[in-house]
Amino acid sequence: MSGNLVLCVCGGGSGAHALAGMAAQKGVEVRVLTLYEDEAKQWSRVLKKEELTVVVNESNRPPREVTSKPNMVTKDPEKAIPDSNVIIFTVPASVHEIYLKTIAEYIGKRALVVGLPGQAGFEFQCRDILGEKASYISIMSFESLPWECRVREFGKRVEILGTKMYLTGSLIRGKSVTKPPLMTLQKFLGSQPILRQSKHFLETIIMSYSFFHPAIFYGKWKDWDGKPVSEAPLFYHGIDEATAELLQKCSDECMAVASSVLEAAATKANLSDVKDIHHWFMENYKNEIEESCDLFHSITTNKAYQGLTHPMKEVFGGMEPDFSSRYLTEELPMGLVVFRGLADVLGVQVPHSDMLIEWGQEKMGKEYLVGGKLTGKDIDSTRCPQRYGFTTLEAILTGEKSN
């Protein structure tokens, strides 16, 4: 592996634009790998004529612009992956498997592979697909993207609407020596968010709060009469207090699972930093929240969420909710079902999470949870630990599949 710092950004969306622009501005060799040929060609054409501009909005300051040029945008993993010290996934979790299988043979044994976000089960999937190589590389998984961001002009301009104060990621160190994980990633992002390492990778799985978007979706549309609406309702700022209460109950279930892990394996999995969702909001959006007295107000007065609406699709007579959006199609199989799998291994009851899974799978036409068991026909499309043969807590902690 070369001595220079080489970053490969996997993806072509808003997060990939923002990360590529911020890192390239720091003098890092940045390669962008998107498996969509049209995206790669379009972005490459733009870069021949234009620099990539990242517009950064910061609290109580005028927007600032960061301009730079990634070194490469390609569809070819053989060009993008070899010699990359750090490989960061900014793509939806639903396509992590495709990317991992495509790049697996080109990943060096001293690479740092990062899910930004990784979402629940990223470590299980990496270990399964990369096989023996997974024991050499280091794997990090972060709870979310560092920012709320939107592409304004593809390949040319992206806007960061808000930046988190802190971002926590888990680290599974491999046998090989990699670039210093947190120090390297902090260089890419700049001074904020402040990156922190969790005490154990299960902390990131639990604190991905994968119930969050499904619960808001449920709260708005559970009693929908099927008639089109005239406009897309606000997503975060449009929640009611009943939805906020449901969010808190789901957060309580996360805390119960963390407590159970601590009781069963305190010396192997320190989850003492797991916190409830209201605490997390106050910590990560301190400068964006106008009123933080409770969870409801912490969400509805969060300036980073201003104007963001429910995913909708146009139909005759108006608009209707898009139940094929990532808030269900990604965050159930790559999030809530994974958490449910961990709860199942520990024997912890999570009725509110179950309710969201059952409602969401019906809207999606999928089947994960049947009669309270993760035995549905679509379970192999999820990242729950049981899918990969991790059916005991010991197997989950060590990565050695259950017999």
Active-site hit among 213, 278, 310, 352: 213
In a 3-state reduction of DSSP, which class is residue 270? Answer: coil
Asked if omega into 77 is within 30° of 0 (cis), the reply is no
**Calpha distance 10→90 (Å, rounded):** 6
In a 3-state reduction of DSSP, which class is residue 194? Answer: strand
What amino acid occupies position 211?
F
The beta-carbon contacts of 317-321 under 8 Å, at least 24 apart in sequence, are: 317/227, 317/228, 318/228, 318/229, 318/230, 318/231, 319/228, 319/229, 319/230, 319/231, 319/232, 320/226, 320/228, 320/229, 321/217, 321/220, 321/221, 321/224
Nearest partner of 114 among 95, 93, 138, judged by Cα:
138
β-strands 166-172, 157-163 pairing: unpaired
Polymer length of the chain: 403
Residue position matching structure tokens 């990156």: 195
Tokens found for residue 309: 């609406």
**Calpha distance 66→70 (Å, rounded):** 13
β-strands 166-172, 138-142 pairing: antiparallel
**Calpha distance 115→133 (Å, rounded):** 17
Q: Are 278 and 302 in contact (CB under 8 A)?
A: no
In a 3-state reduction of DSSP, which class is residue 146? Answer: coil
Question: Is position 213 annotated as part of the catalytic site?
Answer: yes
Nearest partner of 343 among 210, 403, 254, 212, judged by Cα:
254
The CB density around residue 146, as the number of other CB atoms within 10 Å, is 25
Q: Are 89 and 118 in contact (CB under 8 A)?
A: yes
Q: Which residues are catalytic?
A: 213
